A and B are shown apart, each in its own frame.
Chain A
Amino acid sequence: KAGVTQTPRYLIKTRGQQVTLSCSPISGHRSVSWYQQTPGQGLQFLFEYFSETQRNKGNFPGRFSGRQFSNSRSEMNVSTLELGDSALYLCASSLEGEQYFGPGTRLTVT
C-alpha cells in the first residue's frame, strides 16, 4: 500500500498570509491526525478527523483549522501566519490504534 502523502513538502510564506496543507491517508484509513513539530515544543497534537468529523482538538488558537473530505483526504489551514508557526507539520493516518506518519510539510514563515 502507498504510504501517507503530504503536499507540498516545502512552503515559504510571509507573516499575515494564510496557508493550506494537504494530506492523503493510506487507503482504507478513516482517521487523520495533524501534528506540529518544532525544536522548542517538540511534537504537538493539532487535531484529529474521523469520517469527516473533528473528533479531538489540541491546544492551538483558532487560526489553525482543518477538514476532512469523504475520501478521507484532509487539509489543514493556518490563517494570519505568525513567525512562530514555522514548523514541520506532520499528518498521520490511523487504523486499529496505530498511526502512520507522512513525510511532513516544512513551513517557513518570514
Chain B
Amino acid sequence: AQRVTQPEKLLSVFKGAPVELKCNYSYSGSPELFWYVQYSRQRLQLLLRHISRESIKGFTADLNKGETSFHLKKPFAQEEDSAMYYCALSSMDSSYKLIFGSGTRLLVRP
C-alpha cells in the first residue's frame, strides 16, 4: 500500500536549534518525494522535491531508499519557520497524484 507517515504531530524547538521533521514512506516502485509547507493563513506551497536536490530556506532533505525515509532538516531554526509541514509522494509516471502524510506542526520559540 502507498503510505506516507509523519510520526510527530507537533515539534517544538527553540530558535537556533536544529530541526528534523521525520517522514517515512511505503511504496512499491520509485516514488518522487516532496515537502510542502503551509504558513499561517497562506496556501500550501512546495518547499522542496528530492529530484531537484536544492536547499530552500536552509532546509534540506535526503531520500534514503534503504530506510524509505525523506526527513527534512535545518541546522538552525528561525521563528519564521513555524508552520505546518507535509511530506508527500507521487509515482514517477505521468499522473500528478500526491499522497500526503498527516503533517507535522513546527513551532519555533524565541
Contact = CB atoms under 8 A, between A and B. Distances in A.
Interface stretch (A11-19, A64-72, A94-102): A94-102
B43 A97 contact: no
B96 A31 contact: yes
B96 A102 contact: no
Contacts, number: 55
Contacts of A100: 45-46
A42 B96 contact: no
Interface string A49-60: 010000110100
Nearest to B38: A101
Interface residues of A, number: 24
Interface residues of B, number: 21
Given A42-B103, A43-B86, A99 B43 contact: no
Contacts of A102: 43
Contacts of A98: 46, 49
B9 to A, nearest CB: 11
B100 A42 contact: yes
A86 to B, nearest CB: 19
Interface in A79-110: 90, 92, 94, 97-104
A33 interface: yes
B28 interface: no
Given A101-B45, A104-B43, A94 B96 contact: yes
A42 B86 CA distance: 10
21 contacts: A31-B96, A33-B96, A33-B98, A35-B100, A43-B103, A45-B98, A48-B96, A50-B94, A55-B94, A55-B96, A56-B97, A90-B44, A97-B32, A97-B49, A97-B90, A98-B49, A99-B46, A99-B96, A99-B98, A101-B43, A101-B45
